[in-house]
Structures are given as C-alpha cells and as structure tokens.
Amino acid sequence: MPASIREAVGDHLDAALTRDTVTRLSCPSCGSVHVAQVLGDNGGISYVCTACGHSWS
C-alpha cells in the first residue's frame, strides 16, 4: 500500500479515536466504560457502572 494511503487512513483513525475518547463516559470509581444511563429519582439523569455497580449523577 502506498505511504500516502497509509497516512490518510492513519489520520482518519486518529481523529475517530480522539473523538471517541472525548465523548466516552467512564466510571469514576473503577474506570470502566460499561456505563448505563438511567432516569434518576428526581427526574434527572443518573449513571450506573455495570461493571462495579457504582452510581452517580
């Protein structure tokens, strides 16, 4: 594969990984990315880590 194609693919992958890393939510307790969004008791949004069970809002 020509170097220019590898560089173009690499740039797109780097951009996608950076974008994904910025928007990914992780558990503040264990760092897992296995997080579920749930409706809180007061109608707000809360989060629950499906790996460790930690919840936060």
pTM: 0.56
Overall number of domains in the chain: 1
Does residue 49 surpass a pLDDT of 90? yes
User: What CA dihedral angle connects 49, 40, 57 and 32, to 10 degrees?
Assistant: 10
Token pair belonging to 26 = 């992780």
Q: How confident is the model over 25-41, as pLDDT tens digits?
A: 999 999 999 999 998 77
Q: Are 40 and 57 in contact (CB under 8 A)?
A: yes
Q: Are 26 and 33 in contact (CB under 8 A)?
A: yes
Structural domain containing residue 51: 3-56
Name the one residue in this structure whose structure tokens are 């109608």: 43
Mean pLDDT, the chain, rounded, equals 79
Give just the sign of the alpha carbon dihedral 28, 30, 36, 39: negative
